[in-house]
Amino acid sequence: MTTPRRTFLRTASAAIATARLPILGANDRVQVGIVGLGGRGRDHIEYYGKVETCRIASVCDVNQAARERAIASIDKTHGYKPTEFGDMRELFASKDIDAVSLPLPNHWHALATIWACQAGKDVYVEKPASHNIFESRKMVEAARKYKRMVQVGSQSRSTPHKMKAIQLLREGAIGKVFGARALCFRRRFSIGHTPDQPVPPGVDWDKFLGPAQMKPYSLNKFDYNWHWFWDTGNGDLGNQGVHEMDIALWGLNRTDWPKQAVSSGGKFIWQDDQETPNMQNAAFTWADGELSFDVRNLPTPPEALAPMRGPNYVGNIFFGDLGFMVLDGAGFQVFKSSAGNFVGARGAGAGSRERYEKTHEEKSAGDAVVAHVRNFLDAVKSRDYTKLNAEIEIGARSAAFCHLANIAYRVARPLKLDANGRFLNDDEANTLQTRKYRAPYVVPERV
């Protein structure tokens, strides 16, 4: 049921969206509101503070202490105090804000983005774009309906060496690309058990849970560990892994749904509150290609040409009919076959004579997050969403593939899909494409 407040916001937002096109003059700074001031929120304060074309005008969080820290940080660094909000809807309704940045927990990404679009704000939303597949669809619909610039925090799309690597794949550097293997080896540790307890002073627990069902407060359900509960997070596949998923789909040049999704794994060794797996394998198949994904939070060795950088390695290996490419945060390498086609005339066994020559190597030039933020702000001024490097349709698709894998893991069977991304003859799996929302924090069918 629509509340009077929501009715007002929807009516007002439609007028705002129309009245604010174009919203900026060529020499104006974009007035940004940051919603979510935890660890990633502090990063956003730093990133936006480095871009001269914007000003952090407002901050918002359900935690009063987080708001106070953010205001003090901005005052110390930039010499002014942004306005403060405890409810994101009030920030979205402010006429002093042009765009919002949303480093929020996963379960809030879609609804916050939709509310902001309805209020006429452009949006930078952290990865994964959505908490479930239904939300991915609704976020794209909202961006198009309200003509908003919506960028997802998949900064690989603005990273020069990764952009160069994908271009080389398009140009045939390893021949016809048919497969990708995404690796997410992030050493993590048990979160243990934390008891239910009273909500700490200054924390609005109702607003933190938002679309999720009401549950008692505990430390493990708050702060960073919300990633490991199905109500609020998507496990490491939807945390670190979504970056590699996005790169894999980018390199494969896939915009269609797979024919099948399968996933297995489990939570091994740890005896704690975590619900999501710490070891997970997933595979997606098309008629003409495949994508596989490995998540490991326990000790792991290096694989293939992937170097061992301590206990962590994340990256992608692309396979073509003429060679392969290894791509990660440090750079990329291209290896091409130096042998001819021995199969047929000399038999399949002759392939053992094949050798690979490194034909290209490039190192990373450093972190590209600020460039990704700048790309978003440039689009806010130009009003051209096609200029966004990780526009919502791109980010929502990559998130949806993480959700496909998690659904297959949770129902513990291979899933067949139709051309629209619905599971064939599997009501249980299709039910997991969305969630049971808690009023009034409901992602609407009609945005």
* Contact residues for 443 (Cβ-Cβ < 8 A; gap 6+): 110, 111, 114, 134, 135, 138, 211, 437
Structure tokens at 404: 């496909």
Nearest to 255 by CA among 379, 398, 366: 398
Residue 158 is given by DSSP the state G
pLDDT at 9: 40
pLDDT at 5: 40
Q: Cβ-count burial of 171 within 10 angstroms (0-12 exposed, 13-18 middle, 19+ buried)?
A: exposed
pLDDT at 354: 77
* Domain architecture of the chain: domains with CATH: 4-157+370-391 (3.40.50.720), 159-364+400-431 (3.30.360.10)
pLDDT at 383: 98
Structure tokens at 245: 């998923």
pLDDT, block means (10 residues), the chain with 447 residues:
40 40 59 97 97 98 98 98 98 98 98 98 98 98 98 98 98 98 96 98 98 98 97 98 98 98 98 98 98 96 74 94 96 86 48 80 93 98 98 98 98 98 98 98 98
pLDDT at 48: 98
Please tell me the distance from the alpha carbon of residue 173 to that of residue 334, in angstroms, as a whole number: 7
Q: In 10 A of CB 195, how many CB atoms?
A: 9
pLDDT at 390: 98
pLDDT at 352: 57
End-to-end CA separation in angstroms for the chain: 14
Please give the full DSSP string across 306-341, using - where no structure is assigned. Answer: ---BTTBEEEEEEEETTEEEEEETTEEEEEEE-S--
Which stretch of DSSP H or E encloses residue 133? helix 133-145
